[in-house]
Amino acid sequence: MSNDEIKITILADGTIKVETDGVGQANHLSADKLLATMARLAGGNTETIRKPQAHTHSHHGVSHTH
């Protein structure tokens, strides 16, 4: 999977699985809004699992994990 590519899979139990290897700065806010909207509309619990190569950094005191 390449940067700025988001893979969305709906599993047999109805769970929505979203995967990405990275989102560039130009698309980062849009991707965050997309995921927040999907979570709100789908309801239920949300779980974030970081990939082993993920890293965390912050912008103006707000942390992001990629």
Q: Is 18 helix (H, G, I), strand (E, B) or coil?
A: strand
* pTM of the predicted model over 0.75: no
For residue 26, what are the CA distances in angstroms to 3, 13, 14, 54?
A: 11, 34, 31, 19
Q: Where do the domains of the chain lie?
A: 7-65
- pLDDT on residue 30: 92
pLDDT (tens digit, 0 to 9) for every residue of the chain, 66 residues total?
A: 668 888 999 999 888 998 888 888 888 899 889 988 998 998 888 888 877 766 555 555 554 555
Distant-in-sequence, close-in-space partners of 54: CB < 8 Å, separation ≥ 6: 65, 66
